[in-house]
Amino acid sequence: MDRVPIIKIGKYLLAAIQADVQDNVAVALQEDLAARIIAAGSRLVLLDISGLQIVDSFIGRMIGDTAGIVKLLDAEVIVVGMQPAVAITLVELGLTLSGVRTALNVESALAMAGIRDRN
Amino acid sequence: MAASERVTVALRTQEDVVLLRHRVREQAVGLKFSLLEQTKIVTAASELGRNVLTYGGAGEAIIEACMKNGRYGLTLTFIDHGPGIPNVEDAMRPGFSTGGGLGLGLAGTRRLVDEFELRSEVGKGTIVRIVRWK
């Protein structure tokens, strides 16, 4: 896989990182997302990482950076579907992703976004 | 016999690090590591494999099943012939990094495994050996 596919669902963008990605694929996603946010005028990106069996410090940093970039573009990232073993390992590694919103699945992320959009 | 397994993965590109993660996962599954134990050792392998590329340029990883006092474990050895680490104590400190990373690398990785040993010689290279017992 050379690129992480980004799908538009209504006003939202959904990017699902599947399986085990190389570092450069993860970095390309940041650029692609930034471009798509501007093109689609999206205010919310769901970053689905349920397919990731591990998140190491590089991918963890990429997720945090992506959230930061998206925020500067007046949008928001919700990280969706982190595996429990990944969460435990990530915190033990020293990475808490404290500035990043998370949801257990796409459904609850959309509910979260719907509540936000009404307010 | 699981204890005689030995797999070597050459580390030259990012793709090799992906392959390394798969090989470590296979061995960990073979030793019936729990999902959390698998995740920890594969994450540790990913950190150290990337270090080999970032700091050492290239190198290799050796994956071995091991046994001590009736317990199975997985030993991973990372070898590079890069510039080496001038101050190992500094490098092990949380927050220390020279590679533009988060500085979690070695200190964070150490927390994911049961044994961690680092030997480095300036101008010759670095060897990191980790063990995770089941």
Residue A42 lies in a domain: yes
pLDDT at A109 over 60: yes
Domain count for chain B: 1
Q: Which amino acid is at B61?
A: A
B20-60 tens-digit pLDDT: 999 999 999 999 999 999 999 999 999 999 999 998 999 99
The parent domain of residue A31 ranges over 6-118
pLDDT at B2 over 80: no
pLDDT category at B99 given cuts 50, 70, 90 is: low
**Under an 8 A CB cutoff, do B102 and A57 touch?**
yes
Q: What is the pLDDT of residue B1?
A: 45
Residue A11 lies in a domain: yes
The parent domain of residue B74 ranges over 2-133
Q: What is the pLDDT of residue A117?
A: 73
Domain count for chain A: 1
Q: What is the pLDDT of residue B97?
A: 59
Residue A32 lies in a domain: yes
We report the CATH number of the domain holding residue B70 as: 3.30.565.10
Residue A36 lies in a domain: yes
Please give the share of chain B, as a percent, with pLDDT higher than 70.
Answer: 90
We report the CATH number of the domain holding residue A108 as: 3.30.750.24
**Under an 8 A CB cutoff, do B14 and A20 touch?**
no
Residue A1 lies in a domain: no
Residue A35 lies in a domain: yes
Q: What is the pTM of this model?
A: 0.91
Residue A26 lies in a domain: yes
**Under an 8 A CB cutoff, do B104 and A85 touch?**
no
Q: What ipTM does the predicted assembly reach? A: 0.89
